[in-house]
C-alpha cells in the first residue's frame, strides 16, 4: 500500500467513525418566567443524555463559580424560584461529554417598562455566543416602579442611550435609579409625516404597513449619529452593561440591535427572529392617549413589527454599502479592527 493510499484509507476510516458516533448538543434552550414567578428552564439534549444545571447571579461566572442546582436532569426541564424579586439568574447546562450552554432569561420582567430584553445568547458564525448581561434593549422607562428599579440596579448598567426625540422625552421623561449610570440622548425632531398619512381619509392597516415599511430605510440616514454613539460606547469596553431604548423598544431599538448582532457575527435570519420577538413583548393600548379610537387592525400594525420592515432596512444597507460591515465602516466609525474588538468584548 502506498503512503497516499494509506492516508486516504485512514481519512475514510476517521470520517466513518465520526459519522457513526452521536454528537452531543444542547439545543432549543430557553429560560422564561412563569405566571407564578418561577424561572422555568427547558432544553433538548440531542443524544438524550441527562444534563447538569448550574446557576449564578454573575453573568460571566465560570462553571467552578456556579452552584449545581440539578444533577443528571434527563427530562429537559427544571424550575426554580428566584433568590429575590430583583435577582437575575444565569445558568450553564452541561452534558456528560462536557458540552456546555450558557443561558438566561431573555426578557427582564418589569412592571413599568415593556420589551426590556437581554441581547445575549445568540450563536455567531464562528461558533461563539453573544455574552449575556452586557447589552440590553428596552421601550420607554418612564413608568418604572420601585421594584423595577431594584431589578435594574442589579444589572450593572453603566450607560443608557435614549433614542427618542425631544418631544418623546418631554412627554415621557425617563425614570432611572440612582446608579451613577451615564444617560445620553441626542436632540432631534422625529419626522412623523409618513405616519400622519396613515390617518388621512381614514386609517387602514394597509396604509399603516406602508408607512412602517418606508420608515426603516430612512433610519439608515436619520439615526446614524445615534447608532454611532452607541457603538462608540460598546467599543470603549467598560466593565458595565449598556442599555439603549426608544418609545416602544421595537423600531429604532430593533434596528440598533440588528446592527449590533450583525457586527458580532450572528446570521441574518437569527437577527430577524430576534427583531420579531417584539411582537411578544410590546403591546400598544388603544384605550387612552393618541391611539384612542384607532381601529384594532391599524393598532396591531403600528404596535408590532413585521419581517418586511427589517428586510427593507437591510436591503437599503446592502444596496448602498454592500452589507452591514460596509455601513458600519462608512457611517458609524466601526472598521474591521473595531468589529474584531466588538467580538472580543461581547462574544465568548
Helix or strand (DSSP H, E) at 159: strand 157-162
Task: Provide the pLDDT for residue 189.
Answer: 93
Q: Residues 138, 277: contact at Cβ < 8 Å?
A: no
Instruction: Tell me if 22-104 shares its fold with 117-346.
Output: no
Q: What does CATH list as the number for 117-346?
A: 3.90.190.10
Task: Provide the pLDDT for residue 24.
Answer: 60
Using the structure block, give the residue that is written with the C-alpha cell 450593572: 156
DSSP string, 210-241: HHHHHHHHHHHHHTHHHHHHHHHHHHHT-SSE
Task: Provide the pLDDT for residue 239.
Answer: 80
CA of residue 214 relative to chain centroid, distance: 23
Q: Where are the domains of the chain?
A: 22-104, 117-346
- Residue 145 has which C-alpha cell? 416602579
Instruction: Name the strands in the sheet holding 100-104, side by side, starting at the edge strand that comes first in the sequence.
Output: 67-73, 51-56, 90-94, 100-104
Using the structure block, give the residue that is written with the C-alpha cell 428599579: 149
3-state DSSP assignment of residue 231 = helix
How many angstroms separate the CA atoms of 275 and 264, rounded? 15
CA of residue 289 relative to chain centroid, distance: 29
DSSP label of 131: P
How many angstroms separate the CA atoms of 6 and 13, rounded? 11
Closest residue by Cα to residue 253 from 138, 84, 176: 138
Q: What does each of the 348 residues of the chain score in pLDDT, given as a tens digit? A: 444 444 443 433 333 233 333 456 899 999 999 988 899 999 999 999 999 999 999 998 999 999 999 999 999 999 999 888 788 999 999 999 998 999 999 999 999 999 999 999 999 999 999 999 999 999 999 999 999 999 999 999 999 999 999 999 999 999 999 999 999 999 999 887 777 776 777 888 898 899 999 999 999 999 999 999 999 999 999 889 999 999 999 999 999 999 999 999 999 999 999 999 999 998 876 555 566 678 889 889 989 999 999 999 999 999 999 999 999 999 999 999 999 999 999 999
* Mutual angle of helices 252-263 and 224-236, in 10-degree steps: 50
Q: CATH classification of 22-104, choosing from 2.80.10.50, 1.10.443.10, 2.60.40.10, 3.30.590.10?
A: 2.60.40.10
Whole-model pTM above 0.95?
no
Q: Residues 232, 263: contact at Cβ < 8 Å?
A: no
3-state DSSP assignment of residue 51 = strand
Amino acid at each position: 500500500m502506498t503512503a497516499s493510499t494509506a492516508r486516504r484509507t485512514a481519512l475514510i476510516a476517521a470520517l466513518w467513525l465520526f459519522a457513526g458516533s452521536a454528537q452531543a448538543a444542547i439545543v432549543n434552550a430557553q429560560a422564561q418566567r412563569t405566571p407564578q414567578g418561577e424561572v422555568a428552564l427547558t432544553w433538548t439534549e440531542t443524544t438524550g443524555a441527562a444534563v447538569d444545571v448550574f446557576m449564578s447571579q454573575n453573568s460571566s461566572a465560570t462553571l467552578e463559580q456556579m452552584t449545581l442546582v440539578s444533577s443528571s436532569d434527563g427530562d429537559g426541564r427544571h424550575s426554580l424560584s428566584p433568590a429575590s424579586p430583583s435577582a437575575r439568574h444565569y445558568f450553564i447546562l452541561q452534558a456528560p461529554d462536557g458540552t456546555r450552554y450558557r443561558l438566561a432569561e431573555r426578557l427582564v420582567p418589569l412592571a413599568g417598562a415593556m420589551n426590556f430584553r437581554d441581547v445575549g445568547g445568540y450563536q455567531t458564525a464562528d461558533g461563539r455566543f453573544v455574552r449575556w448581561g452586557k447589552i440590553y434593549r428596552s421601550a420607554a422607562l418612564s413608568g418604572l416602579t420601585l421594584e423595577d428599579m431594584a431589578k435594574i440596579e442589579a444589572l450593572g448598567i453603566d450607560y443608557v442611550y435614549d433614542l427618542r426625540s425631544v418631544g418623546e422625552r418631554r412627554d415621557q421623561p425617563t425614570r432611572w435609579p440612582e446608579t451613577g449610570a451615564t444617560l445620553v440622548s441626542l436632540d432631534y425632531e422625529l419626522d412623523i409625516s409618513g405616519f400622519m398619512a396613515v390617518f388621512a381619509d381614514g386609517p387602514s392597516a394597509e396604509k399603516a404597513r406602508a408607512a412602517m415599511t418606508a420608515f426603516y430605510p430612512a433610519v439608515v440616514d436619520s439615526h446614524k449619529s445615534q447608532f454611532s454613539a452607541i457603538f462608540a460606547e460598546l467599543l470603549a469596553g467598560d466593565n458595565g452593561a449598556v442599555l439603549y431604548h426608544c418609545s416602544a423598544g421595537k423600531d429604532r431599538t430593533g434596528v440598533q440591535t440588528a446592527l449590533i448582532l450583525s457586527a458580532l457575527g450572528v446570521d441574518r435570519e437569527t437577527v430577524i427572529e430576534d427583531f420579531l420577538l417584539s411582537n411578544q413583548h410590546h403591546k400598544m393600548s388603544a384605550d387612552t392617549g393618541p391611539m384612542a379610537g384607532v381601529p384594532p387592525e391599524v393598532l396591531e400594525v403600528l404596535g408590532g413589527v413585521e419581517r418586511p420592515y427589517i428586510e427593507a432596512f437591510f436591503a437599503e444597507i446592502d444596496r448602498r454599502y454592500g452589507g452591514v460591515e460596509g455601513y458600519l465602516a462608512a457611517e458609524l466609525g466601526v472598521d474591521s479592527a473595531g468589529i474584531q474588538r466588538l467580538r472580543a468584548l461581547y462574544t465568548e
